[in-house]
């Protein structure tokens, strides 16, 4: 077995003080994070944030200006050939030949990775079964739907059984059923021990499938960790909604006298406001409001979702 001279003991994915500079543009600036072996990591950021640049560096399609990145312990700078054998990359757009069938397409990449004989046949059959393209394996790629093309691209990334998967916007343009099926496939691969880095703008799906996330903007990593930990760190207020049977305007005036209540608004019989106190303070507030004559029929405390956290952490800046 060939051993890289710059291998780390830890597997998975690791970025170490990564920079990528294009002229005056710093696309990636001092980004460092680790995705442990067998984990699913969600990479979040607006367009132009540096996500794809980071992924291209991990896929050895670009070199960092400074720093390094490691795939299953191998350096993208010093051991790119070993990285490519360990990595499956699914870009946001991929090229294909119109008259090539799905089977021929996957078979081409299997041969490119050096798979031969029974081993290649076995991998081809597994990939077509796992991705659900078995019934279309002899159909030309030009006749596939967007969802089936994404399945085919995932199959291409999986054909050599990589330890690490990099998926750049895999659910873009898919219908709800196709997104759910793709999400289930990613979940299965993660459960089988593959390390997965996936970017997406569909944040609710990332929150459901990922063990941890990283939020990047203008090339800087703003937050990283589990979804729950990031939500807790950013949870400075909670969004309270009260539905009242009595006079909502009187309830609004009552709330304005309490400093814990900000951004109060009234829509029909519903009041909405930001509350900076804890759960006990919230219970005391509601009890006092009822004691002063307000009849409440419904109360809802909205905890911050991943979308809320994303909007709070980022500023909508582009390079």
User: Using one digit for the tens of pLDDT, what is the confidence trace for 140-174?
Assistant: 988 888 888 889 999 999 999 999 999 998 888 78
Could you tell me the pLDDT band of residue 2, with boundaries at 50, 70 and 90? very low
Could you tell me the pLDDT band of residue 226, with boundaries at 50, 70 and 90? confident
**Mean pLDDT, the chain, as a whole number?**
87
* Region 188-192 average pLDDT: 92
Report the SS3 class of residue 170: coil
**The two structure tokens encoding residue 75:** 């350096």
* Closest to 286 in 3D by CA, of 318, 230, 244: 244
- Which comes out higher in pLDDT, residue 310 or 197? 197
pLDDT at 319: 54
Beta bridge partners of 197: 41, 166
Q: Which sign does the torsion angle of CA 87, 89, 95, 98 carry?
A: positive
In order of their start, the domains of the chain are: 13-232 (3.40.50.300), 236-302 (3.30.70.100)
Could you tell me the pLDDT band of residue 221, with boundaries at 50, 70 and 90? very high
Burial of 83 (0-12, 13-18, 19+ CB in 10 A): buried
State how far the Cα of 250 lies from the Cα of 257, in Å rounded to an integer. Answer: 11
% of the chain residues with pLDDT over 70? 89
pLDDT at 262: 84
pLDDT exceeds cutoff 80 at 6: no
Which of 7-16, 125-134, 207-216 is the least confident region? 7-16
**Residues 142 and 97 sit within 8 Å (Cβ to Cβ):** no
pLDDT at 117: 94
pLDDT exceeds cutoff 90 at 302: no
Between the alpha carbon of residue 102 and those of residues 126, 134, 155, 194, 280, the distances in Å are: 14, 9, 10, 24, 59
- Which comes out higher in pLDDT, residue 301 or 141? 141
**Tens-place pLDDT, residues 268-293:** 999 988 888 888 888 999 999 999 88
pLDDT exceeds cutoff 50 at 3: no
Q: Which sign does the torsion angle of CA 64, 172, 186, 135 carry?
A: negative
Cα 201 from chain centre: 8
Q: Which sign does the torsion angle of CA 83, 37, 63, 172 carry?
A: positive
- Which comes out higher in pLDDT, residue 5 or 51? 51
pLDDT exceeds cutoff 90 at 80: yes
Could you tell me the pLDDT band of residue 7, with boundaries at 50, 70 and 90? low
Could you tell me the pLDDT band of residue 99, with boundaries at 50, 70 and 90? confident
pLDDT at 147: 87
Q: What is the number of other CB atoms lying within 10 angstroms of the CB of residue 16?
A: 17
% of the chain residues with pLDDT over 90? 50
* Region 73-82 average pLDDT: 95
Write the DSSP string, 201-230.
Answer: S-HHHHHHH-SEEEEEETTEEEEEE-HHHH
Could you tell me the pLDDT band of residue 36, with boundaries at 50, 70 and 90? very high
């Amino acid at each position: 077995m060939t051993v890289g001279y710059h291998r780390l003991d830890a597997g998975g994915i690791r970025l170490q003080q990564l920079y990528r500079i294009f002229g005056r543009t710093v696309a990636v600036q001092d980004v460092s994070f680790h995705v442990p072996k067998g984990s699913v990591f969600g990479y979040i950021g607006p367009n132009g944030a540096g996500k794809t640049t980071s992924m291209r560096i991990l896929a050895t399609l670009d070199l960092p200006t400074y720093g390094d990145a490691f795939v299953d312990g191998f350096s993208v700078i010093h051991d790119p050939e070993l990285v490519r054998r360990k990595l499956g990359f699914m870009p946001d757009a991929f090229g294909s030949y119109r008259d090539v069938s799905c089977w021929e397409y996957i078979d081409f990449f299997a041969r490119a990775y050096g798979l031969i004989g029974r081993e290649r046949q076995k991998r081809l059959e597994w990939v077509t079964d796992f991705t659900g393209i078995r019934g279309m394996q002899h159909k030309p790629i030009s006749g596939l739907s967007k969802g089936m093309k994404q399945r085919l691209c995932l199959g291409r990334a999986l054909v050599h059984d990589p330890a690490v998967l990099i998926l750049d916007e895999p659910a873009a343009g898919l219908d709800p059923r196709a997104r759910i099926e793709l999400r289930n496939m990613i979940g299965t691969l993660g459960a089988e021990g593959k390390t997965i880095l996936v970017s997406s703008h569909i944040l609710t799906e990332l929150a459901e499938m990922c063990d941890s996330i990283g939020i990047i903007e203008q090339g800087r990593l703003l937050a990283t960790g589990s979804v729950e930990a990031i939500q807790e760190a950013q949870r400075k207020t909670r969004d309270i909604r009260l539905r009242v049977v009595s006079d909502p305007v009187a309830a609004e005036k009552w709330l304005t006298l309490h400093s814990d209540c900000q951004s109060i608004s009234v829509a029909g019989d519903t009041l909405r406001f930001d509350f900076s106190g804890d759960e006990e303070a919230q219970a005391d507030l509601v009890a006092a409001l009822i004691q002063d004559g307000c009849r409440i029929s419904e109360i809802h405390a909205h905890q911050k979702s991943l979308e809320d956290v994303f909007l709070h952490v980022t500023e909508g800046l582009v390079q």
